[in-house]
Amino acid sequence: TTILGLESSCDDTAAAVLQITDGAASVLSSVVADQAALHAAFGGVVPEIAARAHAEKLDICAREALLQAGTGLHQLNAVAVTAGPGLIGGVMSGVMFAKGLAAGAELPLVGVNHLAGHALTPRLTDGLAFPYLMLLVSGGHCQFLLVEGFDNFTRLGGTIDDAPGEAFDKVARLLALPQPGGPAVEAEAAQGDPARFRFPRPLMDRPGCDMSFSGLKTAVLRARDEVMQGGKLRASDRADLCAGFQAAMTDVLVKKSARALDKVAGEGITALAVAGGVAANTPIRAGLETICTDRGLRFVAPPLALCTDNAAMIAWAGYERFKAGLRDDMTLAARPRWPLDQTSPAMLGSGK
Ligand code: ATP
Ligand code: FE
């Protein structure tokens, strides 16, 4: 089976060709055109600019993915596309392009939930069997999911305010470090003393798996203002602030993950899997690995290129649906909001 995946729900336009032979998947191509340069001047993703850029780049990315894979349209078995959640202009661009392509090439169309794409990636990369626990930690999301089937997700908890990647990015901005903030803060933290600043660990002593990160960012701001002299921040102070922030972040994510694992202990899970850009963070990864080892579970962290937004994960999630006989038609709707535990578009029948 050969599937073309398309992704345009945020600020990356992506296309990928995935081939599945006897259950073994190989990513023949995975093209990602990021829009960072377009949004840089605005300090965040501008929806209208993103939508236009997707509309301009989708065909180019799709052609590039097919070229790199050495695959013609007639060799495809289906087109899979992100149908939500995300910035609606971008999602609409993708869905309309996919409909046109599917109609023109007479191919089946499969609508995919972007979060399902992330959550199913460990099955693509590591052949992980259901059920497993998924921690999704990115620039826009943070949640624990019990994954029991390709269309069976239970949310156990998540952030009630900022996503961890967003917190890393905001802290980087406070400390005049470059964007994206995660890698910059991690590099600084490696030079600093994590014990000097003791930042809050919100909701830690509350039961459940919910987390909160916005207070942490405010605490970093306050500590920064206290140590700044004449508007200047010493290099060692900056490193210590980063180390303290990262320690708090790691502590919360690891302890809440342990709690989530204990909560689903009776469900027969064999692994904790992660996805999202923050899963690239070495101390966070190490902490998660330890709690897995302690419980005799596998820790699965897909390669970074498949952890952040990409279309190979959309092609894979599309393949799982396609294999189960699910198809969408021209009524497939683009959905700005689409919680994972709600019925999929194909199952709604018409996406209404
Ligand atoms: P989403 O996929 O939820 O819409 P996104 O596209 O912003 O959001 P990703 O591309 O998965 O998310 O991840 C980007 C985020 O990951 C950024 O916020 C970035 O700072 C963070 N990040 C990347 N590397 C690291 C790192 N080493 N440590 C911590 N955070 C990191
Ligand atoms: Fe994403």
Q: Which ligand is nearest to the CA of 277?
A: 1
Give me the pLDDT at residue 162, please.
Answer: 94
Note the ipTM here.
0.97
**CB of 278 shorter than 6 A to ligand 1:** yes
Tens of pLDDT along 25-62? 999 999 999 888 888 777 778 888 888 999 999 999 99
Q: Tell whether the torsion through CA atoms of 250, 255, 261 and 264 is positive or negative.
A: negative
User: Residue 62: exposed, middle, or buried by beta-carbon count in 10 A (0-12, 13-18, 19+)?
Assistant: buried
Does the C-beta of 192 come closer than 6 Å to ligand 1?
Answer: no
Atom of ligand 1 nearest to the CA of 169: 20
Q: Are 296 and 56 in contact (CB under 8 A)?
A: no
- Burial category of 335 from C-beta neighbours within 10 Å (exposed 0-12, middle 13-18, buried 19 and up): buried
pLDDT digits (tens, 9 = 90+) for 99-123: 999 999 999 999 999 999 999 999 9
DSSP, res 1: -
Q: Tens of pLDDT along the chain (352 residues)? A: 999 999 999 989 999 999 999 989 999 999 999 888 888 777 778 888 888 999 999 999 999 999 999 999 999 999 999 999 999 999 999 999 999 999 999 999 999 999 999 999 999 999 999 999 999 999 888 999 999 999 999 999 999 999 999 999 999 999 999 888 999 999 999 999 999 999 999 888 888 999 999 999 999 999 999 999 888 999 999 999 999 999 999 999 999 999 999 999 989 999 999 999 999 999 999 999 999 999 999 999 999 999 999 999 999 999 999 999 999 999 999 999 998 876 555 554 433 3
* Confidence at residue 351, expressed as pLDDT on a 0 to 100 scale: 37
Q: According to the model, what pLDDT value does residue 286 have? A: 97
How far apart, in whole angstroms, are the C-alpha atoms of residue 43 and residue 170? 10
Residues 152, 164, 138, 246: is their CA dihedral positive or negative?
Answer: negative
Q: What values do phi and psi take at 269, rounded to 5?
A: -75, 150
For 128, residues 6+ apart whose C-beta sits below 8 A from its C-beta are 122, 270, 271, 273, 298, 300
DSSP β-bridge partners for residue 245 = none
Reported pTM: 0.92
Residue with the smallest CA separation from ligand 1 atom 31 is 182
Q: Is the CB of 309 under 6 A from ligand 1?
A: yes
- Find out whether the beta carbon of 3 lies less than 6 Å from any atom of ligand 1: no
Residue 225 CA, ligand 1 centroid: distance in Å: 26
Cα(233) to ligand 1 centroid in Å equals: 25
Task: Scan for tokens 């320690």, then name that residue.
Answer: 247
